[in-house]
Amino acid sequence: MPDDTLHVLGFAGSLRRASYNRGLLRAAVETASADVVVTTFDLSSIPPYCMDLEAGGGPEPVRELKTAVAAADALLIATPEHNYSFPGVLKNALDWVSRPANSSPFIGKPVAIMGASSGRFGTARAQVALRPVLASLDMLVMSKPELFVTQAEKVCDEDGSVVDQATRERIYDVIRALAAWARQLRAG
């Protein structure tokens, strides 16, 4: 039944073709079940934010992203860490969708965060910087479980696809928890 399937929209903060974080999202899509379906939005087409371009809902790709966010039951963000924070590419997309402030499709949306890096800290700092930004948008950020994939090259192949089974299980745990979180909020 349509009502019983939870629709999750995922997007990644990296535009690199073989990005580990895009790989995390692909793994998320592959975990789809009767309960939860994950689709993704590619941020490559989102231009730099400029308020002068906001009229009419903004450029076409921005309007498409807003529509996809509005249609989703929950969001899933996969973020790299650049310079101790999350990428400008991700913040730029958030800035676009946050506008106009009082009618953003982000308001009240359940969201989970995960991240992968080639380093040893697994985007820990990016995620801690991202949380208050999402809260400012009135999103309902899932607190646990968190997913910090370190040394991502060891669990991904050269296309960025997650080949390590334990890591795939942890991605599945995040999605299952996100679905439960979204359902808890909806029922309440």
**Chain residues in the site for a second copy (CB under 8 A):** 14-17, 19, 43-44, 46-52, 82-95, 98, 120-122, 124-125, 128-129, 131-133, 135-141, 143-144, 148, 150, 183-188
Nearer to a second copy, 48 or 67 (CB): 48
CB of 97 to a second copy, least distance (A): 10
Nearer to a second copy, 24 or 93 (CB): 93
CB of 35 to a second copy, least distance (A): 16
Nearer to a second copy, 32 or 53 (CB): 53
- The Cα–Cα gap between 130 and 134 comes to 6
20 token code pair: 């580990």
- The Cα–Cα gap between 23 and 14 comes to 10
Place of tokens 């997007």: 11
CB of 51 to a second copy, least distance (A): 4
CB of 173 to a second copy, least distance (A): 15
3-class SS of residue 148: strand
H-state helical runs in the chain: 20-30, 60-71, 88-97, 124-136, 165-187
- The Cα–Cα gap between 132 and 129 comes to 7
Nearer to a second copy, 17 or 34 (CB): 17
